[in-house]
Amino acid sequence: MPDIFTVSASPHIRSRLDTGAVMRLVCVSLLPGVLASVYIFGVKALLVIVVSVLACVLTELLCNRVFRKEITVTDCSAAVTGILFAFTLPPTIPLWMVAVGGFLAIFVAKQLFGGLGYNIFNPALAARAVLLSSWPVTLTAWVKPTKSFLAVDAVTAATPLAIIKEASGAGGATHSAYSYLDLFLGNVPGSLGETCKMALLLGAILLFVFKIIDWRIPFTFIGTVAVLSIPMGRDPLAAVLSGGLILGAFFMATDLVTSPTTRGGKLLFGVGCGVLTSLIRSYGGFPEGVCYSILFMNCLTPLIDKYVQPRVFGTKRAWFRLKSEERHA
């Protein structure tokens, strides 16, 4: 009789996609955002992205050599970090700052924790937070879209969120000065990868098709921001389409390493990110709060995974079991 059972250690159901395949799919999903940023901001955007990717890849290779670990640059995780980090930067940032940020993203936020799978913070967002605290003026120098590949001169302008925050602080209107179409297509000042929402959504669809990400975190994240914008006197649609919410919700908050693994945990994580983003946008010192909200919730991910666990089949919930024991005591 042929063997019909295979005795092995769990897990018994495995995905055909390994880490390298997943990261390559994420890179492909980010290509629409790369093309859109280059179209909107010109050759400067391309240089920032290239330098960021090279800095991350070379730093990972150097860490592999120094720490005598297996070479991991082939899994494309460093390239993904480089693209996402570049997406959080303005097109006018000096290239040496980009290289410094790429080094910090890989060495400090990733390799010092043990490498891929052990980092507790999203490396791209952690590097941006460090740069923002070190060079706040440079990191918040936004320019109007050039729509010219070889454009050299750039005209500074305020982002939609900055306009809303300034107007709300002065007691004025709290809606964006840009149309919904401009916000969706990226005809607004902002970071390289956050402006064109259409390109980001195209990439997100690819991630959903291949089941790389789950719907719970991005939808609860975006939904919470939209709902909370109403009592805060903001336009819900403008709040969703402005800033880095779409980029953060689909590509950063869903990071497989730094986000919860349980279904309930994902919902809680998304709601927490949305609440913190709304609070920072309305009452914080910066007009945007996506970066810090995700980093803060990254800190809570181990706690969420510990206490928000699915019920084991055939057992009762912990609180229900405790009540039963008290009644029979």
pLDDT tens digits along 250-267: 999 999 899 999 999 999
Alpha-carbon gap, residue 303 to 265, rounded angstroms: 10
For 120, 231, 305, 328, the CA distances from 224, given in Å and listed in that order, are 24, 12, 21, 42
Alpha-carbon gap, residue 88 to 192, rounded angstroms: 6
Alpha-carbon gap, residue 197 to 94, rounded angstroms: 25
**Which residue type does 121 have?**
F
115-129, 133-147, 219-233: lowest mean pLDDT where?
Answer: 133-147
Considering all CA atoms of the chain, what is the largest pairwise distance in Å, rounded to the nearest integer?
A: 81
Number of structural domains the chain divides into: 1
* Total residue length of the chain: 329
Q: What is the pLDDT of residue 274?
A: 96
Q: What is the pLDDT of residue 32?
A: 95
Higher pLDDT, 13 or 287: 287
User: Could you tell me the CATH number of the domain that includes residue 72?
Assistant: 1.10.3430
pLDDT over 60 at 318, yes or no = no
Alpha-carbon gap, residue 287 to 161, rounded angstroms: 6
Q: Domain span at residue 129? A: 19-307
- What's the mean pLDDT in 221-244? 92
Alpha-carbon gap, residue 226 to 174, rounded angstroms: 14
The residue assigned the tokens 């803060």 is 296
Would residue 138 be called left, alpha or beta, if left means φ above 0 and alpha means ψ between -120 and 50 degrees?
alpha
Flag whether 319 is in a domain.
Answer: no
pLDDT over 80 at 42, yes or no = yes
Higher pLDDT, 178 or 42: 42
Higher pLDDT, 168 or 82: 82
Instruction: Supply φ then ψ for residue 45, to 5 degrees.
Output: -65, -40
Flag whether 325 is in a domain.
Answer: no
Q: What is the pLDDT of residue 21?
A: 87
When pLDDT is cut at 50, 70 and 90, the band that residue 172 belongs to is: very low
When pLDDT is cut at 50, 70 and 90, the band that residue 173 belongs to is: very low
Q: Is the dihedral of CA 290, 279, 100, 92 positive or negative?
A: positive
Closest CA relative to residue 254, chosen from 12, 28, 79, 84: 84
25-29, 164-168, 289-293: lowest mean pLDDT where?
Answer: 164-168
The residue assigned the tokens 């006018």 is 92
Alpha-carbon gap, residue 258 to 269, rounded angstroms: 11
Q: What is the pLDDT of residue 154?
A: 56
For 128, 132, 218, 290, the CA distances from 124, given in Å and listed in that order, are 6, 12, 18, 13
Flag whether 321 is in a domain.
Answer: no
Instruction: Supply φ then ψ for residue 150, to 5 degrees.
Output: -100, 20
pLDDT over 90 at 176, yes or no = no
Q: What is the residue-averaged pLDDT of the chain?
A: 85
Q: What is the pLDDT of residue 141?
A: 84
Flag whether 79 is in a domain.
Answer: yes
Flag whether 98 is in a domain.
Answer: yes
- What's the mean pLDDT in 150-155? 54
- What's the mean pLDDT in 137-163? 72
Flag whether 317 is in a domain.
Answer: no
Q: What is the pLDDT of residue 7?
A: 66
Alpha-carbon gap, residue 100 to 246, rounded angstroms: 26
Flag whether 7 is in a domain.
Answer: no
- What's the mean pLDDT in 162-171? 64
For 41, 125, 263, 277, the CA distances from 61, given in Å and listed in that order, are 30, 21, 35, 35
Q: Which two tokens stand for residue 222?
A: 């975006």
Flag whether 244 is in a domain.
Answer: yes
List pLDDT tens digits, range 75-110: 889 999 999 999 999 999 999 999 999 999 999 999
**Which residue type does 160 have?**
P
Alpha-carbon gap, residue 113 to 21, rounded angstroms: 23
